[in-house]
């Protein structure tokens, strides 16, 4: 591994300045993704700016929203009483991710920024437009079983690997940033991006910006379920996941939120299906119709055609559990 410098500032401004001074510097918090990338030669920073001393671990319940600091650990957030009671979908999604050991190290900010698990991205002997722009995409004609069925481009068909991000998309979260030009906030749906012509850019974060926290509005959608379909029951990335949240009046659906993971370069929000469900009664046929709408525009590659059947079934199953139509 290439040698690097290590600094540990105590204030956000000092951390941003450390990055500004050195274009080869990178922030590190839990290190659960970055250190893997460094060991594999995908990332080679000159300097690591350890942000663990910054005061960004707070979890607050406010009148209109929940606020979670960027350095709150995934395990702490998932087990926090206010989050379990007020945002159970987020708690479920976090507990579905990684392993207990990784959740004890991984932070909310790092989870937002975690990079794809496409094997060609991690293999420096293979072409990958995300790692080396213009080098080609090894997955397009390679083994693309884990790859996207929505929103891909001819340059990249990778998926976002996070479970937390899928729940945050369904819950209309906002990401808060601090940088050389001051503070700004971005809806999480605009934070992650599709690959287009620039798959090397996963998000819309600025070069020297720091994630300071995430806010999530309090919501009447109390009937929730996070469904993760994967090859084994723990420590595996989603083939397909569904975050489903419903506001019910008896059997009547007053509100619906749906997002999918494992299917696109960003958490994939299913707004057409959500709008269809509002005003319907909970039933297998309504959920089936919603899943048909959600699958419009899906496109498979050689090895992931099974996702075209798995995804709609997962949507129906997640909605059925969230609504109480079937037991988990």
Q: How many other β-carbons are positioned within 10 Å of the β-carbon of residue 220?
A: 11
- Strands ordered across the beta sheet of 65-69: 59-61, 65-69, 210-217, 174-179, 182-187
- Sole window of 75-83, 132-140, 169-177, 271-279 interacting with ligand SF4 (rule: CB under 6 A): 132-140
Q: Give the one residue of 106, 128, 245, 290 binding ligand SF4; rule: CB under 6 A.
A: 128
Give the one residue of 74, 75, 92, 129 binding ligand SF4; rule: CB under 6 A.
129
- 118 touches ligand SF4 (CB under 6 A): yes
Kindly tell me which residue out of 80, 103, 130, 307 binds ligand SF4, with binding defined by CB under 6 A: 130
Q: In terms of DSSP H, where are the helices of the chain? A: 12-21, 34-39, 74-79, 81-86, 88-96, 100-103, 108-113, 119-122, 164-170, 188-191, 271-277, 284-294, 307-323
Residue 150 touching ligand SF4 (CB under 6 A):
no
- 185: which strand partners? 176
Q: What is the CA radius of gyration of the chain?
A: 20
The reply on whether position 120 binds ligand SF4 by CB under 6 A is yes
In the complex, minimum distance from the CB of residue 298 to ligand SF4, in angstroms, rounded to a whole number: 17
The residue (of 33 and 129) whose beta carbon lies closer to ligand SF4 is: 129
Q: Does 137 bind ligand SF4 (CB under 6 A)?
A: yes
Q: CB of residue 155 vs ligand SF4: minimum separation in angstroms?
A: 6
By three-state DSSP, how is residue 86 classified?
Answer: helix
**Tokens for 257?**
């939120």
Site for ligand SF4 in 39-68 (CB under 6 A): none
Residues 6+ apart with CB under 8 A from 292: 312
Q: Does residue 116 belong to the site contacting ligand SF4 (CB under 6 A)?
A: yes
**What sign results for the dihedral spanned by CA atoms 147, 148, 149, 153?**
negative
Using CB under 6 A as the binding criterion, the count of chain residues that bind ligand SF4 stands at: 14
- Is the CB of 179 or the CB of 199 nearer to ligand SF4? 199
176, 282, 264, 168: which is closest to 216 by C-alpha? 168
Of the pair 130, 269, the CB lying nearest ligand SF4 is at: 130
Indicate the residue among 141 and 309 with the shorter CB distance to ligand SF4.
141
Tell me phi and psi for residue 324, to 5 degrees: 90, 5
Minimum CB distance to ligand SF4, residue 253 (Å) = 36
Nearer to ligand SF4, 77 or 140 (CB): 140
Residue with tokens 């109390």: 222
Q: Which stretch binds ligand SF4 (CB under 6 A): 85-93, 117-125, 162-170, 248-256?
A: 117-125
Tokens 């000159």 belong to residue: 46
Q: Is 199 in the site for ligand SF4 (CB under 6 A)?
A: yes
Q: Which is nearer to ligand SF4, 123 or 272 (CB)?
A: 123
CB of 212 to ligand SF4, least distance (A): 28
Contacts of ligand SF4 in 155-174 (CB under 6 A): 156-158
Residues ≥6 apart with Cβ < 8 Å to 46 = 4, 5, 22, 24, 25
Q: Which residues bind ligand SF4 (CB under 6 A)?
A: 116, 118, 120-121, 128-130, 137-139, 156-158, 199
């Amino acid at each position: 591994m290439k040698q690097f410098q290590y600094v540990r500032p105590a204030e956000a401004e000092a951390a941003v300045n450390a990055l500004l001074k050195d274009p080869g510097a990178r922030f590190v918090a839990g290190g659960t993704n970055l250190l893997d990338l460094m060991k594999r030669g995908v990332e080679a920073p000159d300097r690591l700016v350890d942000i663990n001393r910054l005061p960004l671990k707070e979890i607050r319940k406010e009148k209109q929203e929940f606020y979670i600091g960027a350095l709150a650990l995934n395990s702490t957030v998932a087990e926090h009483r206010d989050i379990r009671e007020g945002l159970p979908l987020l708690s479920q999604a976090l507990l579905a991710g990684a392993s207990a050991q990784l959740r004890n190290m991984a932070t909310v900010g790092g989870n937002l920024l975690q990079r794809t698990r496409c094997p060609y991205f991690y293999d420096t002997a293979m072409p990958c437009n995300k790692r080396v722009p213009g080098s080609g995409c090894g997955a397009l004609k390679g083994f693309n079983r884990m790859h996207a069925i929505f929103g891909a481009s001819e340059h990249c068909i990778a998926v976002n690997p996070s479970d937390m991000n899928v729940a945050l998309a369904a819950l209309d979260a906002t990401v808060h940033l601090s940088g050389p030009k001051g503070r700004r906030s971005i809806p999480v749906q605009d934070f992650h991006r599709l690959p287009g012509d620039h798959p090397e850019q996963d998000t819309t974060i600025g070069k020297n910006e720091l994630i300071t926290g995430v806010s999530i509005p309090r919501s009447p959608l109390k009937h929730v379920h996070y469904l993760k379909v994967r090859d084994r029951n723990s420590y595996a990335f989603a083939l397909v996941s569904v975050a489903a949240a419903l506001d019910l009046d008896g059997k009547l659906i007053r509100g619906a939120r749906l997002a999918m993971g494992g299917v696109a370069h960003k958490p994939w929000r299913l707004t057409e299906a959500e709008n269809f469900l509002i005003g319907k009664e909970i039933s297998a046929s309504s959920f089936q119709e919603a899943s048909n709408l959600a699958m419009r525009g899906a496109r498979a590659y050689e090895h992931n055609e099974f996702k075209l059947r798995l995804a709609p079934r997962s949507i129906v199953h997640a909605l059925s559990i969230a609504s109480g139509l079937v037991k988990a």
